[in-house]
Amino acid sequence: MAALGRVLAEPIVSRSLIPPWANSSMDGYAVRARDTRGDPVELAVVGRIIAGTLPSRPLRAGEAMRIFTGAPLPEGADAVVPQEDVAADGERVTITGRVAAGAFVRPAGEDVHVGDVVVQPGGVIGAAEVGLLATLGYAQVRVFRRPRVAILSTGNELADLGTEPGPGQIPNTNTYSLMAQVIEAGAEPINLGVVPDHLEAITERLRWGLAAADVLVTSAGVSVGELDLVREALERTGAELHLWKVSMRPGKPITFGTHAGRPVFGLPGNPVSAMVTFELFVRPALRRMAGADSVDRPRLRVPALEMIANPGSRRGYLRVTLTPDTGGYGARLTGDQGSAILRSMVLADGLAVVAPDTTIAAGEPVDVILLRSLEPRSR
């Protein structure tokens, strides 16, 4: 069970034939199809095969055997007649109409052949895979290690969970939403806590993170103000920064770099910006590092159920709910799109991707990155 949700690291090759022998898919009578050409025919019932036993002997011309679902077909038999379609008295069975060869028979190997690769490495193990692994006798499988992701929230104003915010302070949101996103991405979070906007303090905490983790993620302090010290602190640890600022909304201030081959991400501080930039930049990297062969969320093209406007020069990632519409789903904005309004993420099923200076009219199609399953839920 520990493998559930993990990414498989080895191909699962079948060592057996499933099912191992032809068997019945109904309770009824095993027959030779060519014996049912008369109309009606009467066959002698010469045996009884229950699931978990083997037929006592082959079936010969003019004979039938009582058989139950899952029981192996006797040699010579090639079809099953369901019991509700016959008249029988225990000794003899009367069959009306022709029976086709193969009727109600599950052939040997119809599911899996010996040597079939039934699950590829890079696939996520779900409930069906767990069932198949058990069928094939795999009690243990090799999975990829989850990448470890250190998360640091920066900001003088932050009061961490469990402490009462002082005057002018706000609760620390991002550590927790980011840790949850890390877990949902199939990785393991390491909480580096909160540090104030102080260069040495940030640098020191980042060093801890780099010693413990495969990936570093920071929030806030990455913009242009004089207290935005994260980039300088990252450079002090020896990280090489490759980019700063992406033309998107929410989330323009973001930096990405590497430290001894390990990715480091400086995400913006606004809670929605932090979550959206995590989705777009950090999550795919974590999926790749986790060994998954699919790293991107599904993208859907659905009709806008109301006008969706993205004024300004940045690409928009607007939070939308997807609601059932005639023949499919349609997208509706979650309301106010401010990057500090975390409720827009709580309500969101997806992110509508809208080009700069573009307005999508109601009824026009819009591209949506799907963030969650569309199971109905209360909001």
Footprint of ligand AMP on this chain (CB under 6 A)? 153, 155, 157-158, 170, 172-175, 219-221, 223, 268-271
Is the C-alpha dihedral spanning 218, 319, 314, 281 positive or negative?
Answer: positive
Q: Say whether residue 266 binds Mg ion (CB under 5 A).
A: no
219/277 with CB nearer ligand AMP: 219
Cβ(149)–Cβ(190) below 8 Å: yes
36/223 with CB nearer ligand AMP: 223
| Distances from the Cα of 284 to the Cα of 131, 237, 295, 332, angstroms | 28, 25, 5, 26
33/202 with CB nearer Mg ion: 202
- Minimum CB distance to ligand AMP, residue 201 (Å): 15
Find all residues with CB under 8 Å of 164, minimum gap 6, and list them. Answer: none
174/344 with CB nearer ligand AMP: 174
- Minimum CB distance to Mg ion, residue 349 (Å): 30
Contact partner, 170, from ligand AMP, Mg ion, none, Cβ < 5-8 Å per class: ligand AMP
Distance CA 148, CA 127 (A): 25
- Minimum CB distance to ligand AMP, residue 15 (Å): 51
Given the structure tokens 């323009």, which residue do they identify?
252
Cβ(272)–Cβ(345) below 8 Å: yes
List the helix and strand counts (H, then E) for the chain: 7, 26
Name the one range near Mg ion by CB under 5 A: 25-33, 218-226, 293-301, 363-371.
218-226
30/152 with CB nearer Mg ion: 152
Of residues 138 through 197, those in contact with Mg ion by CB under 5 A are 155
| Distances from the Cα of 43 to the Cα of 59, 86, 93, 170, angstroms | 11, 11, 5, 84
Contact partner, 119, from ligand AMP, Mg ion, none, Cβ < 5-8 Å per class: none
Residue nearest to ligand AMP (CB): 269
- Minimum CB distance to ligand AMP, residue 190 (Å): 16
| Distances from the Cα of 300 to the Cα of 111, 314, 328, angstroms | 32, 21, 11
- Taking the mean position of all CA atoms in its chain, how far away is CA 246? 28
Distance CA 318, CA 54 (A): 63
- Minimum CB distance to ligand AMP, residue 182 (Å): 15
Distance CA 170, CA 371 (A): 27
Choosing from 220, 230, 234, 300, the residue that interacts with Mg ion (CB under 5 A) is 220
Contact partner, 14, from ligand AMP, Mg ion, none, Cβ < 5-8 Å per class: none
Contact partner, 268, from ligand AMP, Mg ion, none, Cβ < 5-8 Å per class: ligand AMP
- Minimum CB distance to ligand AMP, residue 269 (Å): 3
223/321 with CB nearer ligand AMP: 223
Name the one range near Mg ion by CB under 5 A: 181-189, 220-228, 308-316, 354-362.
220-228
- Minimum CB distance to ligand AMP, residue 203 (Å): 17
228/306 with CB nearer ligand AMP: 228
87/161 with CB nearer ligand AMP: 161
55/269 with CB nearer ligand AMP: 269
Q: List the one residue out of 214, 146, 147, 182 whose CA is nearest residue 3.
A: 146
Name the one range near Mg ion by CB under 5 A: 94-102, 212-220, 292-300, 360-368.
212-220
Distance CA 346, CA 325 (A): 21
Given the structure tokens 């990829």, which residue do they identify?
144
Please count the residues of this chain forming the interface with Mg ion, following the rule CB under 5 A: 3
Which pairs with CB-CB distance under 8 Å and at least 24 residues apart come from 356-359?
A: 356/247, 356/310, 356/312, 356/313, 356/314, 356/315, 356/316, 357/310, 357/311, 357/312, 357/313, 358/309, 358/310, 358/316, 359/307, 359/308, 359/309, 359/310, 359/311
- Interaction site with Mg ion (CB under 5 A): 155, 220-221
